[in-house]
Amino acid sequence: MPRMIGRVAKRKMAVNIKLGDVVRLRKKHPCGSYEWEVVRVGADIGLKCLKCQRRVLLQRGIFDRRLKEVVYRREG
């Protein structure tokens, strides 16, 4: 039986996120909310907490891992 060297990376497709979308992340914010509004899109994703209005900036790869679902998708 051949030995497996290293790990096989599982890649998810990048989600098409637009300004104004509301997303749910896997872990809750310290204020207790799971839902965030997308306020910046680029190499980094800017998010605003819908409960306490705090803004954070996540790298796209980290955002893709933490994303659970898109709650509301802005049309257009």
Q: Is residue 62 part of a domain?
A: yes
Q: Is residue 3 part of a domain?
A: no
pLDDT in tens, 35-76: 999 999 999 999 999 999 999 999 999 999 999 999 988 776
Q: Is residue 44 part of a domain?
A: yes
Q: Which domain holds residue 55?
A: 22-72
Rounded Cα gap, residues 67 and 1, in angstroms? 37
Confidence class of residue 15 from pLDDT cuts 50, 70 and 90? Answer: confident
CA angle in degrees (0–180, nearest 5) for 71-55-26: 40
pLDDT at 11: 56
Q: Is residue 9 part of a domain?
A: no
- Count of domains observed in the chain: 1
Extract the tokens encoding 26.
């896997």
Res. 14: pLDDT tops 90: no
Res. 20: pLDDT tops 60: yes
- If one counts every other C-beta atom within 10 angstroms of the C-beta of residue 51, the result is 13
Q: Is residue 42 part of a domain?
A: yes
Q: Is residue 50 part of a domain?
A: yes
Q: Is residue 6 part of a domain?
A: no
